Structure 1
């Protein structure tokens, strides 16, 4: 009897192991693919479209291809939201092409907000350089996880979940973000819903709003997300 039970446990264990192996390819495609060479500096002049940028000729690659100066300069926060996000993704920093990482600089005027948004292809971790930020994300069951960060604090936003950052200090604030994708994608929820052409009937029913209220929100979202000159 004991031998039969042990054999059953062994069969179950083997079956679970085989199932785990079968799921590994699915787990692998949940983030950027691993590179198959030392580097693949993106050739931004090549119009060919692939899942990432076409590789620059390795013979033409220089040390400067792996350097990016764009995060040294504060972004322009002179807009209705009072915030600026300066990305260092593959499009701006071709040296990270195929490496599965990117960064961004977040600058905030007093009261500045990076509005609720998602990154469909990346988890994000932020480090507060100056000031204090109210940050948070919402899980798929509607639970809000929010806290106030001070200088030196770090916070993580799980992949694909709605999140935000608000400057709650008396002056300006700055943060640096790192993401585990060379092209994390950003979808601002208000813009996606109220400034993309979604039928007003859909919005009225989804939010329980009247036609005038939807129009007012659409106008407000458009104004709030107007890019600074």
Structure 2
């Protein structure tokens, strides 16, 4: 076998170094201060570190459909640079949190009330599913497609999720595929169906 040319060897080393650096920076960036003060908060006090958005859930009526409330950097600016965020998830009877991914963080789901059918799909398309009860925790690895479903026809479920990013991001598969401007013809070919079927799916998601 011929030896690798020196310039190709150097190029390979450079690519390896840059790939390593990219992987090292794939999470939230480190900060060089204790915390980051938002521009509109020049004199921070304890209020900076307090989030009260979940108070609205106390005593509130059950929502008619699946509902998520987030405490991420967008809602809670003090999380900037802290690599952590929360979400409260409410599942009325028979509701589902559709298949989705979080591109910037793993998710740790903690069931507080009711039960949930959950599943995560790896990059070989293998499904790992489980039935969770109160007190159970399930981890959804970063970037993998997952879902939660309350199969109980009469009882709601309630869960709390923690993320390893201040802004984990959510990519909903049904929404990303059918509620964007991808042409119907491309979707029809991709799903091996016809345009009227694609348009029917879009109409159903828009309701």
Q: Which TM-score bucket, shorter chain as reference? A: 0.7 to 0.9
Alignment correspondent of 2:27: 31
Alignment correspondent of 2:185: 201
Alignment correspondent of 1:134: 117
Residue ranges of structure 2 left out of the alignment (5+ in a row): 1-15
Residues 110, 167 of structure 1: 8 Å contact kept: yes
- Equivalent position SS for 1:73: helix
Count of aligned pairs:
190
- Equivalent position SS for 1:71: helix
For 1:25-65, what per-residue CA distance to the aligned partner results, in whole angstroms no more than 9, with x for missing partners?
3332110011210000334x5xxxxxxxxxx43xx111111
Shift of 1:71: 2.4
- Equivalent position SS for 2:143: coil
Alignment correspondent of 1:6: none
User: Are 1:185 and 2:169 counterparts?
Assistant: yes
Residue ranges of structure 1 left out of the alignment (5+ in a row): 1-19, 46-55, 224-229
Shift of 1:108: 1.0
Equivalent runs, 1:87-166 vs 2, <5 Å: 87-166=70-149
User: Are 1:220 and 2:204 counterparts?
Assistant: yes
Give the TM-score taking structure 1 as reference length.
0.77
Residues 77, 83 of structure 1: 8 Å contact kept: no
Mean CA deviation greater in 164-173 or 182-191:
164-173
For 1:60-89, what per-residue CA distance to the aligned partner results, in whole angstroms no more than 9, with x for missing partners?
11111111122243387645xx21010000
Shift of 1:189: 0.6
Alignment correspondent of 1:172: 156
- Equivalent position SS for 1:105: strand
Shift of 1:213: 0.7
RMSD after superposition: 2.0
Equivalent runs, 1:66-105 vs 2, <5 Å: 66-74=49-57, 78-79=63-64, 82-105=65-88
Give the TM-score taking structure 2 as reference length.
0.85
| Counterpart Cα distance in 1 of 2:139 and 2:61 | 25
Residues 109, 172 of structure 1: 8 Å contact kept: yes
Report the CA distance shift for 1:30/1:77 in structure 2 as closer, same or farther (over 3 A): farther
- Equivalent position SS for 1:87: strand
- Equivalent position SS for 2:160: strand
| Counterpart Cα distance in 2 of 1:93 and 1:133 | 28
Residues 42, 90 of structure 1: 8 Å contact kept: no
| Counterpart Cα distance in 2 of 1:189 and 1:76 | 28
